[in-house]
Structure 1
Amino acid sequence: MEGRDMSGEPEDDLITEQERKQLLAALHTRLFWVGKEIPYNCDIRGKICNLHNIVWELLQKERLDEEDRKLINKCILYIDEKAKEDELELSTGQLTREEADRLFDETAGLMRTLMNLRDIEEGKSKEKERQFHETYSRERVAEARRWLNLLRDTGELK
């Protein structure tokens, strides 16, 4: 009979130390959060929080008031605590590959949420949004000019 861990899972379904190290290293790479979503439902201190909606609502505000800043600071504190708990569990827990992947995704989502909240608090998110729209508009104009030139070169447009 194959060995089982304390939860009753087959031992060979547990992540290896190499896999654990790869997941932990990935959390600390420069762009680890690309493609990771801000969590919709996350248990933080026994309360289910919809972090995605919190970030979205804060992003929609023209100006942050004192209550918004208090909320951001409270969220940063609690989310940072939860991310550290998850990372500790990822580094020390007996986890199956599925559990480890889920925990990695949750931790990466929490870390992305922290970055977004810090950007909102510092006013960087509005500036980034403005820069994005300027770049997008410039690129659309440049693309339209390229199409017009192509049509002229092929004789389709005179």
Structure 2
Amino acid sequence: MSGVSEDDFITEHERKQLLAALQTRLFWVGKEIPYNCDIKGKMCNLHSIVWELLQKEKLDYEDRKLINKCILYIDEKAKEDELDLATDQLTREEADKLFDETAGLLRTLMTLRDIEEGTSKEKRRKFHETYSRERVAEARRWLNFLKQTGEAI
């Protein structure tokens, strides 16, 4: 590669850190489901596919077939990306991009499996309940703090 020095490439230590990060429990936090991803030579908007499936009240046979096909292809692509991350000579920028893509693919797999199992709506409902409860608790703590400091009216 022209214009790229040896210092621009990831070290073995950095490579191991990235690969280990993909194995942690919450690796996907903050990672988006990819909008555009090349899977088997075809550009797929995984974000739209997942969104459309999440909006359906009930999955039919064709939806389940699509989910299984996506899971198969995405799993294969994620494994390819992980292998590339483990073996290719990559710059830090390339490694970060590949890591983000792989994490996004793995998050997509988890979401599709949740949709297929029918647990995604329940998880979303519980998240919103917890989020709302925590917002109310935080507001109460803030009001108590203001009262204690004499700032509340």
Common topology (TM > 0.5):
yes
Distance of 1:143 and 1:16 partners within structure 2 = 43
Query: Rg larger in 1 or in 2?
Result: 1
Instruction: Calculate percent identity across the aligned residue pairs.
Output: 82
> Unpaired runs of 5+ in structure 1?
1-6
Normalising by structure 2, report the TM-score. 0.86
Aligned with 1:47 (options 42, 48, 53): 42
Cα distance between partner residues in 1 of 2:90 and 2:72: 26
RMSD across aligned positions (CA) = 2.3
Match of 1:10 among 5, 29, 33: 5
Provide TM-score, normalisation by structure 1. Answer: 0.83
Q: CA deviation at 1:35?
A: 0.5
Q: How many residues align?
A: 150
- What does the per-residue CA deviation read over 1:43-92, in whole Å, with 9 as the maximum and x for residues that have no partner? 00000000111111111111111111000000000000000000000000
SS at 1:126's partner residue? Answer: helix
- What is the 5 A alignment of 1:142-157? none
Q: Structure 2 CA distance, aligned partners of 1:148 and 1:13?
A: 51
Q: Distance in 2 between matches of 1:62 and 1:143?
A: 33
Question: What one-letter code is carried by the residue in structure 2 that aligns with 1:129?
Answer: R
Residues 139/96 of structure 1: CA separation in 2 closer, same or farther (3 Å cut): closer
